[in-house]
Amino acid sequence: FVDFHFLLQAYNIHVNGVLHCRVRYSQLLSLHEQIKKEYGSNVVPAFPPKKIFTLTPAEVEQRREQLEKYMQAVRQDPLLGSSEMFNSFLRKAQQETQQIPTEDVALDICLSNGQKISVNILTSDQTEDVLDAVATNLDLPEDLIGYFSLFLIRESVDGGVTFVRKLQEFELPYVSISSLQSSDFHIVLRKSYWDTAYDGDVMDNRVGLSLLYAQTVSDIERGWILVNKDQHRQLKSLQEKGSKKEFIHLGQTLKYYGYIKFDPCITDFPEKGCQVIVSAGNNELNFHVKLPNEQMKEGSFKVTRMRCWRVTSSQVPLANGTTNTCSSSKCEVKLELAFEYLMSKDRLQWVTITSQQAIMMSICLQSMVDELMVKKSGGSIKKMLRKRHNGSIYRADGQQAVKSPPLLDSPNTNREQIVKLSTKLSSMSLLGISASNSANDISGNDFHGNYAFEGIGDDDL
Which span out of 53-57, 344-348, 415-419 was modeled with the highest average pLDDT? 344-348
**Residue-level pLDDT at 461:** 27
- Give residue 115's pLDDT band: very low, low, confident or very high (50, 70, 90): very high
Under a CB-based contact definition with an 8 Å cutoff, are residues 162 and 263 in contact?
Answer: yes
Q: How far apart are CA 11 and CA 24, in angstroms?
A: 6
194-258 and 1-99 share a CATH fold: no
Portion of the chain with pLDDT greater than 70, in percent: 75
- Tell me which CATH code domain 1-99 carries: 3.30.1520.10
Q: How far apart are CA 208 and CA 204, in angstroms?
A: 7
Q: Is residue 68 pLDDT above 80, yes or no?
A: no
Q: How far apart are CA 75 and CA 86, in angstroms?
A: 9
Burial of 17 (C-beta count, 10 Å sphere; 0-12/13-18/19+)? middle
Q: How far apart are CA 251 and CA 225, in angstroms?
A: 8
182-186: average pLDDT: 94
Q: How far apart are CA 136 and CA 140, in angstroms?
A: 6
Pairing assessment for the beta strands 274-281 and 104-110 based on DSSP bridges: unpaired
The class level of CATH for 259-315+333-377+423-433 reads mainly beta
Which helix or strand (DSSP H or E) is residue 18 part of?
strand 18-24
Q: How far apart are CA 191 and CA 111, in angstroms?
A: 11
Q: What residue type is assigned to position 23 of the chain?
A: V
**Hey, what's the torsion of the CAs at 447, 453, 456, 460, to 10 degrees?**
-170
- Give residue 380's pLDDT band: very low, low, confident or very high (50, 70, 90): low
Q: Is residue 43 pLDDT above 50, yes or no?
A: yes
CA 91 to chain centre: 16
Q: How far apart are CA 36 and CA 88, in angstroms?
A: 16
Output the CA torsion sign for 85, 385, 282, 176. Answer: negative
Q: How far apart are CA 82 and CA 155, in angstroms?
A: 31
Q: Which range is least confidently modeled, 25-29, 148-152, 170-174?
A: 25-29
**Residue-level pLDDT at 196:** 94
**Residue-level pLDDT at 70:** 84
pLDDT in tens, 189-198: 999 999 999 9
In order of 27, 75, 96, 165, the CA distances from 90 in angstroms are: 11, 12, 10, 17
Q: Is residue 381 pLDDT above 80, yes or no?
A: no
pLDDT in tens, 142-170: 999 999 999 999 998 888 899 998 998 89
pLDDT in tens, 332-364: 778 899 999 999 988 999 999 999 999 899 989
- Give residue 66's pLDDT band: very low, low, confident or very high (50, 70, 90): confident
- Three-state secondary structure call for residue 316: strand
Q: Is residue 297 pLDDT above 50, yes or no?
A: yes
**Residue-level pLDDT at 444:** 26
Radius of gyration of the chain (CA): 23
- Tell me which CATH code domain 101-192 carries: 3.10.20.90
Enumerate residues 6+ apart whose C-beta is below 8 A from 288: 276, 277, 278, 279, 296, 297, 298
CA-wise closest residue to 162 among 83, 86, 224: 224
In order of 3, 315, 374, 408, 420, the CA distances from 414 in angstroms are: 52, 36, 20, 11, 10
**CB 384: neighbour CB atoms within 10 A?**
17
- Give residue 460's pLDDT band: very low, low, confident or very high (50, 70, 90): very low
Q: Is residue 454 pLDDT above 70, yes or no?
A: no
pLDDT in tens, 246-261: 999 999 999 999 999 9
Higher pLDDT, 294 or 353: 353
**Residue-level pLDDT at 94:** 93
In order of 158, 178, 312, 322, 364, the CA distances from 357 in angstroms are: 19, 21, 12, 27, 11
**Residue-level pLDDT at 157:** 85
Under a CB-based contact definition with an 8 Å cutoff, are residues 455 and 432 in contact?
Answer: yes
DSSP state, residue 225: S
Our separate counts of H helices and E strands in the chain read: 13, 17
In order of 1, 99, 394, the CA distances from 448 in angstroms are: 31, 22, 11
Q: How far apart are CA 443 and CA 12, in angstroms?
A: 11
- Give residue 385's pLDDT band: very low, low, confident or very high (50, 70, 90): low
Which helix or strand (DSSP H or E) is residue 311 part of?
strand 306-317
**Residue-level pLDDT at 453:** 41
**Hey, what's the torsion of the CAs at 446, 185, 212, 303, to 10 degrees?**
-20
In order of 177, 185, 197, the CA distances from 20 in angstroms are: 11, 16, 36
Q: Which range is least confidently modeled, 157-166, 276-285, 451-460?
A: 451-460
Q: Is residue 420 pLDDT above 90, yes or no?
A: no
**Residue-level pLDDT at 320:** 56
Output the CA torsion sign for 209, 214, 220, 225. Answer: negative
pLDDT in tens, 214-241: 999 999 999 999 999 999 999 999 999 9
**Residue-level pLDDT at 33:** 94
- Tell me which CATH code domain 194-258 carries: 1.20.80.60
Q: Which range is least confidently modeled, 37-51, 165-179, 435-449?
A: 435-449
Mean pLDDT of the chain: 79
Q: Is residue 401 pLDDT above 70, yes or no?
A: no
Domain boundaries, the chain: 1-99, 101-192, 194-258, 259-315+333-377+423-433
The model carries a pTM of 0.80
pLDDT in tens, 73-99: 887 788 888 899 999 999 999 999 999
Q: Which range is least confidently modeled, 118-122, 247-251, 351-355, 379-383?
A: 379-383
- Give residue 56's pLDDT band: very low, low, confident or very high (50, 70, 90): confident
Q: Which range is least confidently modeled, 148-152, 267-271, 292-296?
A: 292-296
179-202: average pLDDT: 94
